[in-house]
Amino acid sequence: MLKRKIIHIDMDAFYASVEQRDNPELRGKPVAVGHAEERGVVAAASYEARKYGVRSAMSSIRAKKLCPNLIFVPGRMGTYKEISRSIHSIFHDYTDIIEPLSLDEAFLDVTENKKGIELAVDIAREIKTRIRQELNLVASAGISYNKFLAKIASDHRKPNGLCTIHPNQALDFIARLPIESFWGVGPVTAKKMHSLGIHNGELLRACSPDMLNRHFGKAGKLYYDFSHGIDNRPVEAVHIRKSIGCERTLEKDISKQSSVIIELYHVTKELIARLERNEFTGNTLTLKIKFHDFNQITRSITQAQKLTSLEVVLPLAKKLLKEVDFENHPIRLIGLSVSNPIEEQNDKTTIWEQLSFEFSDW
């Protein structure tokens, strides 16, 4: 069977790098995109900041403790989107089979490319060079025969990385890969795998499908396939929006029921407005709660009717909220999304739109 030629392009510290590019005084200094206020959150961090342990989604207070000299700059989402369009314009010179994952990250299928270049690594090298020359930014690229390995390859030598995982090298590469580096393995799953004695790809590959399914449900098959270098997901050039969500980061952690209900009402109103603007309908409502300690949970409910009005959605949101113990765990963030589970069977992506005051100018 023909092996696909997949490239994963990932811009290095994209938002922070744009700010450093546009403001010479920031170059070489630890920079965080976001706000330094007590309730602020780091949206992106430069590599100089990452050396201190600063990461995206970290609270601004913790980031400043780790890096006292950290410089905060407000985000400019309009600028980032414009640059992202320029990056994708470069991509389209080589292929139209492009699957964006975010503004700064995408998969490209270059098995058959517009320029007739035989080696995918040569295409990746050209793209990196053009991004540097035309936009004065740096990207990392990973090349392999499937999306999982291309993604792993792009992370392998960041920043400014270029890495190819050849089919003949894949199994050896995966065997040495820490379990935390596997796609879909977050901190909770990694901890569970460690408890089962699974610390790398070699140990994961030794597990049977039944054992993985028993401990990890449907994700077990995915982990099994990845450990064997298997990922049959195509690069999807067209994405249909399958859900719409919004979330609000609160100015203070709250645990009083009346206060939580008021915030839930405001988020629900914004969700309905977004549904109307996008002419989107769905019948599954998902509540997202982030607690004061940054732990996060979601709760969902599916109805036969479409969820399009405040009168329908708000009672369901309150019903989901009853399943959440917030009296003993103050709430930091509340989010809601509406999705269509039938369309989502092959794609579990939820698009969240930030409503917190920190990024109101985005």
Q: Which of 105, 118, 276, 323 is catalytic?
A: 105
Length of the chain: 362
Per-residue pLDDT, 340: 79
Alpha carbons within 13 A on the beta-carbon side of 48: 16
* Active-site annotation holds for 105: yes
pLDDT at 360: 26
CB 77: neighbour CB atoms within 10 A? Answer: 14
The whole-number pLDDT of residue 36 equals 85
Give 289's strand partners.
Answer: 297, 334
Domain 1-167 in CATH: superfamily? Reverse transcriptase/Diguanylate cyclase domain (3.30.70.270)
Which candidate, 317, 5, 278, 1, places its Cα nearest to that of 141? 5
> Could you give the angle at which helices 187-195 and 209-216 cross, rounded to 10 degrees?
130
3-state secondary structure of 246: strand
List of long-range contacts for 76-80, beta carbons under 8 Å, 24+ apart: 76/18, 76/19, 76/361, 76/362, 77/359, 77/361, 77/362, 79/18, 79/22, 80/14, 80/15, 80/18, 80/104
The CATH label, of 3.20.20.140, 3.20.20.220, 2.70.98.10, 3.30.1490.100, for the domain at 243-359 is 3.30.1490.100
What pLDDT is attached to residue 358?
32
Domain 180-227 fold: DNA polymerase; domain 1 (1.10.150)
- Locate the domains of the chain by residue range: 1-167, 180-227, 243-359
0.85 surpassed by pTM: no
d(CA 145, CA 13): 26
User: CA 326 to CA 29: how far, in whole Å?
Assistant: 39
How far is Cα 286 from Cα 303, in angstroms, rounded to an integer? Answer: 12
Q: Which of 98, 103, 104 is nearest to 138 (CA)?
A: 104
Alpha carbon distance, N-terminus to C-terminus of the chain:
46
Digitized pLDDT (tens) for each residue of the chain, 362 residues in all:
568 999 999 999 999 999 999 999 999 999 999 988 877 889 999 999 999 999 988 999 999 999 999 999 999 989 999 999 999 999 999 999 999 988 999 999 999 999 999 999 999 999 999 999 999 999 999 999 999 999 999 999 899 999 999 999 999 999 999 999 998 898 889 999 999 999 999 999 999 999 999 999 989 999 999 999 999 999 988 655 678 899 888 888 999 999 999 999 999 999 999 999 888 889 999 999 999 888 889 999 999 889 999 999 999 999 999 999 998 889 999 999 998 754 444 444 444 443 433 322 22
